[in-house]
């Protein structure tokens, strides 16, 4: 029996999302996704999976593409969401135009899905100004 899904499942039960604002463009929020988890104490391959996922999550939260793949494996029809099949997990970078009352903006953030587990996400609403500041773009790309 492969212990990897069980290790990741128990890890995800203790994981949470930090209640911090997104960093300015080009900066990451290290350690924000797997709260209270010391990845150095995890057995392999869970350690590599968590380390890789954390790096990609930090990049996405900083408005940059993940490092697990140079190009997405697919895209959603919402105009910006990208799908990546990484070595240990599937990563969705949600980016969708959204209207909140009279405020236009984007729903944006990473969603990580380890094999056999529930997805864990850090998706938030950003006003147009905040999103463009985060990504360094004017057109949402």
For 73-98, the pLDDT digits (tens) are 999 887 799 999 999 999 999 999 99
What integer pLDDT is reported at residue 53 of this predicted model?
94
Q: For residues 71 and 44, give the distance between their C-alpha atoms in angstroms, rounded to a whole number.
A: 27
pLDDT of residue 18 exceeding 50, the answer is: no
What integer pLDDT is reported at residue 87 of this predicted model?
95
Average the pLDDT over 115-123 and give the result.
90
What integer pLDDT is reported at residue 101 of this predicted model?
92
What integer pLDDT is reported at residue 59 of this predicted model?
93
For 19-71, the pLDDT digits (tens) are 344 445 444 444 568 888 888 899 999 999 999 999 999 999 999 999 999 99
What integer pLDDT is reported at residue 15 of this predicted model?
38
Phi, psi of 24 (to 5 degrees): -60, 160
| CA quadruple 3, 84, 21, 64: dihedral sign | positive
Give the relative orientation of helices 4-14 and 46-61 as an angle to the nearest 10 degrees.
Answer: 50
Phi, psi of 7 (to 5 degrees): -65, -45
């Amino acid at each position: 029996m492969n212990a990897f899904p069980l290790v990741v499942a128990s890890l995800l039960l203790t994981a949470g999302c930090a209640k911090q604002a997104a960093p300015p463009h080009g900066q990451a929020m290290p350690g924000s996704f797997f709260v209270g988890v010391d990845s150095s104490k995890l057995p392999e391959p869970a350690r590599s999976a968590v380390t890789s996922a954390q790096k990609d999550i930090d990049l996405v939260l900083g408005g940059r593409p993940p490092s697990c793949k140079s190009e997405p494996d697919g895209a959603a029809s919402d105009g910006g969401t990208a799908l990546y099949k990484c070595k240990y997990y599937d990563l969705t970078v949600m980016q969708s135009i959204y209207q909140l009352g009279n405020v236009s903006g984007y729903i944006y953030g990473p969603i990580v899905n380890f094999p056999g587990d529930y997805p864990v996400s850090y998706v938030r609403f950003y006003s147009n100004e905040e999103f463009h500041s985060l990504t360094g773009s004017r057109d949402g790309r």
